[in-house]
């Protein structure tokens, strides 16, 4: 269904939620419990939830005795291979409290460009949702190359929302909304709503998220939000700490109005 405002998220049929590495790794690893509580509440009232979760590389780094995000592809792949296993375990361990089963879905950019792969991914997620399984999507870092990577999971989340025809996309970060300039700077004003076609002229974007573990920033979130909104999904950008309020349709964050056409 077409959402006219953020309060429609509560009654939406299908919602994609994206969380970044900095929100669920390191000192913020405990936020997984808070995130799962909110997802489970929405799942319990009948909303079909797809979680797009970063974090595999960041979570795998300590196991490889790395103190900073690796820059070479092979070490990124190694960290992701270890971290993805731990990441899914942590989610499932928390979801067990609600008797919800997670299904892991790993994708590359190439998978969504090849018709047969795209159809298979769509079919698999539709079946998982029909079975009341909660799909957890991440980039397949162990096989992705620099040439075919999504670049950041904000774009992946937007593409997944298009793939499954989601009603809404919720992009979570460390900041509660978009601002006219980095929120730490004087004069920064919260942007409550972005109408269809708004170029956000005069807005200066800084990074969103803790330095060193993630790859996305405010500009990548805006690009992803526009991509999803132009395809008919309402998009809300807010902080991971406010995920429960976001899924309840509260008046928070920055809302990108969806295009009337899907």
| Residue 221 marked as a ligand binder | no
Output phi, psi for 73, to 5 deg.
Answer: -60, -40
Domains along the sequence of the chain with CATH:
6-256 (3.40.1160.10)
SS (H, E, C) the chain: CCCCCHHHHHHCCEEEEEECHHHHCHHHCCHHHHHHHHHHHHHHCCCEEEEEECCHHHHHHHHHCCCCCCCCHHHHHHHHHHHHHHHHHHHHHHHHHHCCCEEEEEECHHHHCCHHHHHHHHHHHHHHHHCCCEEEEEECCCCCCCCCCCCCHHHHHHHHHHHCCCCEEEEEECCCCEECCCCCCCCCCEECEECCCCCCCCCCCCCCCCCCCCCCCHHHHHHHHHHHHHCCCEEEEEEHHHHHHHHCCCCCCEEECCCCCC
Quick check: pTM over 0.95?
Answer: no
Q: pLDDT tens-digit profile of 128-179?
A: 999 999 999 998 877 776 644 566 789 999 999 999 999 999 999 999 999 9
54 is in an annotated binding site: yes
The answer to whether 105 and 84 have CB atoms below 8 angstroms apart is no
3-class secondary structure, 138 = strand
* Res 212: pLDDT: 47
**Residue 1: is its pLDDT beyond 80?**
no
Could you read off the pLDDT of 36-81 as tens digits, one per residue? 999 999 999 999 999 999 999 999 999 999 999 888 888 988 999 9
For residue 18, say whether it is annotated as part of any ligand binding site: yes
């Amino acid at each position: 269904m077409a959402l006219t405002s953020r309060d429609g998220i509560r009654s939406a049929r299908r919602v994609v939620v994206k969380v970044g590495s900095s929100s669920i790794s390191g000192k913020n690893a405990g936020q997984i419990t808070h995130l799962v509580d909110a997802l489970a509440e929405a799942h319990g009232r009948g909303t079909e939830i797809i979680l797009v979760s970063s974090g595999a590389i960041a979570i795998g780094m300590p196991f490889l005795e790395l103190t900073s995000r690796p820059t070479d592809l092979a070490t990124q792949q190694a960290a992701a291979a270890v971290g993805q296993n731990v990441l899914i375990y942590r989610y499932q361990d928390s979801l067990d409290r609600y008797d919800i089963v997670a299904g892991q879905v790993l994708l590359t950019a190439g998978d969504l460009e090849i018709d047969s792969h795209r159809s298979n991914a769509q079919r698999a997620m539709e079946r998982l949702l029909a079975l009341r399984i909660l799909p957890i999507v991440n980039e397949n870092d162990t096989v992705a190359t620099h040439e075919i990577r999504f670049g950041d999971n904000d774009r992946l989340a937007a593409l997944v929302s298009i793939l499954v025809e989601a009603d809404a996309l919720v992009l979570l970060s460390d900041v509660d909304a978009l601002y006219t300039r980095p929120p730490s700077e004087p004069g920064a004003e919260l942007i409550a709503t972005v109408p269809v076609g708004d170029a956000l002229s005069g807005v200066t974007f800084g990074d969103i998220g803790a330095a060193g573990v993630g790859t996305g920033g405010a500009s990548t979130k805006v690009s992803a939000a526009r991509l999803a909104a132009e395809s008919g999904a309402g998009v809300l950008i807010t902080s991971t700490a406010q995920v429960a309020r976001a899924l309840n349709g509260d008046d928070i964050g920055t809302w990108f109005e969806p295009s009337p056409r899907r």
